[in-house]
Amino acid sequence: MELTLEYAKQLDQTDSLNRYREEFYIKPNTIYMDGNSLGLLSKRAERTLLESLNDWKEHGIDGWTKGKHPWFFLSEKLGEMMAPLVGASANEVIVTGSTTVNLHQLVATFYKPEGKKSKILADELTFPSDIYALQSQLRIHGFDPDTHLIRVKSRDGRFLDEEDIIEAMTEDIALIILPTVLYRSGQILDMKRLTAEANKRGILIGFDGCHSIGAIPHSFSEWGVDFAYWCNYKHLNGGPGSVGGLYVNKKHFGTAPGLAGWFGSKKEKQFDMEHSLTPAESAGAYQIGTPHVLSLAPLLGALEIFAEAGIENIRQKSLKINRFLMDLLDQELSDMGFNIGNPQEDVRRGGHVSLEHKEAARICKALKENGIIPDFRAPNIIRLAPVALYTSYSEVWEVVQILKKIMKERQYEKFANEREVVA
């Protein structure tokens, strides 16, 4: 079947999530395809931010316990709202810190080298910040990252093979840290299988969920995942610098936080001001400092939408609209040097399309000049992310037509083939 604008409009008319599009601030004459880097602002997120500002305005210090959204319990409330998105109970999730701070906390808590069992297993395709954190944690423990940080190799530079990861789960591995979804190619790792294999070997395993939270369903508790951490500003639309999240399986409750701070206290004990920490009996124990209230507040509104729309419905549209994009790319651009570098199978594909081209950096600049907001990842990847809650099929059709025009007219040639300061 030929993929046409008329067909795209038909898909929009039958899209059950289409009504949420009007909830977001979408810049006129712009098509936003970068929601996997920073999600758009919703009117509900704006509303709850302004409500929290008003709580400060009206109550001052009493905003911690009074007002529309009392701050003292805000991280716990958001953890409860977020728990269904990761397949966990409410007390296993807390909204706190940032991705890398939470990773430091979780490694400091659960990395317990003993005898020969002293190495950390990661992969060579993971986001660099995770590697920096793991290297520094190893140094703190007196180990050389060159020998004690094992990175599973990719066979093709795009994907990881679960068999290779399992083979690397040797008797000297104390901890495993892996992404749920690879940030470049969008590959989903088989978290259930990897967790089962790690558990079988007595190795703790944690996942970086930055590129999956809000895009795909998870079952962390059912799978027996030990811990996970993520940011909330991509698919969850929490805003730039939005406070992150972490999950700790309830079987680990009572494990003392590796990095202790007063917001990890049991709530009723926190203001006793004792010099002996009484940790919360939940994931809240792994908080460190006072939460950034104004960066938490937008998530209250953002998560309302996810509760209404349902993560399963979001996933189904995401799969469908990304498939539509890939089919269009094949139909319109098959002879222009592009390659789709993400998995084709639905079960292995996250929330974005990874389009490869040797001129990727300058093509991204040409797209922006034409009102399309993409994302570049070195060395040759254009990431395009149709987001289920606010991207239309008609927009996807238009993006491909504009990309085709850019290539035919060679508009990209006026730009340098190098990334901007922020890619």
End-to-end Cα distance, the chain: 36
Q: Quick check: is 281 in a domain?
A: yes
pLDDT score at 401: 98
Judgement on whether residues 211 and 319 belong to the same structural domain of the protein: no
* Domain presence at residue 335: yes
Residue 209 falls inside a structural domain: yes
What is the pLDDT, as a whole number, of residue 422? 74
Q: Are residues 301 and 341 in the same domain?
A: no
The pLDDT assigned to 352 comes to: 97
Output the pLDDT for position 417. Answer: 85
| 145 and 64 housed in the same domain | yes
d(CA 235, CA 212): 8
Q: What pLDDT, on the 0 to 100 scale, is given for residue 144?
A: 98
Q: Are 350 and 216 in the same domain? A: no
The CATH number given to whatever domain includes residue 273 is 3.40.640.10
Given 274, 293, 308, the domain boundary residue is: 308
Report how many domains make up the chain: 2
Do 295 and 386 lie in one domain? The reply is no
Domain end marker among 308, 336, 361: 308
* Per-residue model confidence as pLDDT tens digits over 193-208: 999 999 999 999 999 9
Distance of CA 180 to the CA centre of its chain: 9
Residue 423: predicted pLDDT: 72
- Residue at 376 is within a domain: yes
Q: What pLDDT shows up at residue 88?
A: 98
Answer whether residue 38 is part of any domain: no
CB 324 within 8 A of CB 15: no
Give the pairing type, strands 149-152 and 173-179. unpaired
**Same-domain status, 289 and 387:** no
Q: What predicted TM-score, i.e. pTM, was given to this entire model?
A: 0.96
**Three-state SS for 150?**
strand
CATH number (domain holding residue 19): 3.90.1150.10
Same domain, 300 and 377: no
Pick the last residue of a domain from 266, 287, 308: 308
8 A C-beta contact, residue 395 and residue 31: yes
DSSP-assigned letters across all residues of 199-265:
HHTT-EEEEE-TTTTTTS---HHHHT--EEEE-SSSTT---TT---EEEE-GGGTTPPPSS--GGGB
Report if residue 402 sits inside a domain.
yes
Residues 332, 291 share a domain? no
Q: Phi, psi at residue 12, to the nearest 5°? A: -65, -40
CA distance 109 to 255: 8
165 and 105 within one domain: yes
Task: Note whether 368 and 301 are same-domain residues.
Answer: no
In terms of residue numbers, what domain contains 231? 47-308
147 and 273 fall within a common domain: yes
Residues 343, 404: one domain? yes
pLDDT tens over the chain, length 423 residues:
689 999 999 999 999 999 999 999 999 999 999 999 999 999 999 999 999 999 999 999 999 999 999 999 999 999 999 999 999 999 999 999 999 999 999 999 999 999 999 999 999 999 999 999 999 999 999 999 999 999 999 999 999 999 999 999 999 999 999 999 999 999 999 999 999 999 999 999 999 999 999 999 999 999 999 999 999 999 999 999 999 999 999 999 999 999 999 999 999 999 999 999 999 999 999 999 999 999 999 999 999 999 999 999 999 999 999 999 999 999 999 999 999 999 999 999 999 999 999 999 999 999 999 999 999 999 999 999 999 999 999 999 999 999 999 999 999 999 988 888 777
Asked whether residue 392 is domain-assigned, the answer is yes
